[in-house]
Amino acid sequence: MPMPLLAVFADVPDPRRETENKLHLLGDVLALATCAVIGGAESWDSIQAYGETQKAFVLRFLTLANGIPSADTFERVFAKVDPAAFTRAFGRWMLAACEATGLIPIALDGKSVRGSKKATATGCLHLVSAWATSTRLTLGQVSVPEGSNEIAVIPELLTLDAAGCQKAIAEQIRAQGGDYLLAVKGNQPTLLAAVEQVFADACEQDFADVSHDGDSTVEEGHGRHEERYVTAIQNPKGLPEGWADVAAVVQVNREREVGGRGTSSTHYYITSRREPAKEIAGWIRGHWGIENGLHWILDVVFREDDNRKRAGHAGANLAMIRRVAVSLLKHAPGKGSCVTKRLKAGWDDDYLLQVLQGITDDIVR
């Protein structure tokens, strides 16, 4: 029977030469690996073992005219496939899945795969992901080239973290019809000082004649007490030139008490969007959510830091499949953690099909 997952890979160029040694369809290799990773496989050998064990199941929608590909075949193919094309293939249906929600807050953030050594700024494979915070879907991924850092690749993906707070990126987001929410920290000292001064001046005059809005929240649980106060000042004056269409500056004050010990912190942001402080606070919390909603799961459930794939593009392409697996498992039916759902997908073929139904026919047409 046809499977939407195969349609996702239809436009991915096959990097292999047409020789008699080319035994397997590219779509079969990529689709089988995706099913295996969702079901618990974490190495080329385990992907092959999954295929051999679940051969009757995968033959329901894959051709596999020459049997299950070997572990070496999986590695060679993933090392050669263009990671940009591979990411676009997945990103197409994920973005379509988000479009019905209207405004889509997207967090861009970097994560290192510490077991896969590369000559990047972090010393290992470093990936920057685009994460739709409201729908919890990975929309794209770019690997940082050797000798570079994550700032250089953010324009390829287009709330950002501080490493992405650059004028050119803000301009590109606005030029492409988007809005930005950028964290401002010490890596932009002139901008940070100007934003701090905006709030200092407003406080000095007790916010008289200052267009502003505020929001506060209190959270309790597991021995933790946290208060957050968000203040947005619209149409700020005195910011450095070159920051495109800044509509507001934002201050977030956090006070936390855990086990009787209190801490406080202040964070600053600039944004091109005029929205109530409550709405902006939700976007900021959504960006923090990439750590728990994606990075933590990749490390704990998928053991990404232990991954040592280094050949060609293998590490980046396999990392993309892991991010797709996280997105699909989060939207899979039933209760339970991603750990439980992943185990169930490996044990129960019908449940795996339910997981894969997150890729619908209308999305990939």
Q: Is the pTM of this model over 0.75?
A: no
Q: What does the pLDDT read at residue 76? A: 92
Handedness of CA 122, 126, 131, 136 (dihedral sign): negative
Residue 158 confidence (pLDDT): 42
pLDDT of residue 195: 95
Give pLDDT, residue 100.
46
Q: Are strands 248-258 and 261-271 parallel, antiparallel or unpaired?
A: antiparallel
Could you say which residues of the chain have pLDDT below 70?
Answer: 1-4, 91-165, 222, 286-311, 358-365
Residues linked to residue 166 through DSSP beta bridges, in sequence order: none
Contacts of 59 (CB under 8 A, 6+ apart): none
Domains in the chain and their CATH numbers? Answer: 4-81+332-364 (no CATH), 87-299 (3.90.350.10)
CB contact at 8 A, 286 and 246: no
SS3 225: strand
Cross-strand partners of 257: 225, 262
Separation CA 250–CA 213 (nearest Å): 10
pLDDT of residue 153: 41
> What is the distance between the alpha carbons of residues 312 and 52, in angstroms, rounded to a whole number?
26
- Structure token pair of residue 89: 């293939």
Residues 109, 257: Cα–Cα separation, whole Å: 27
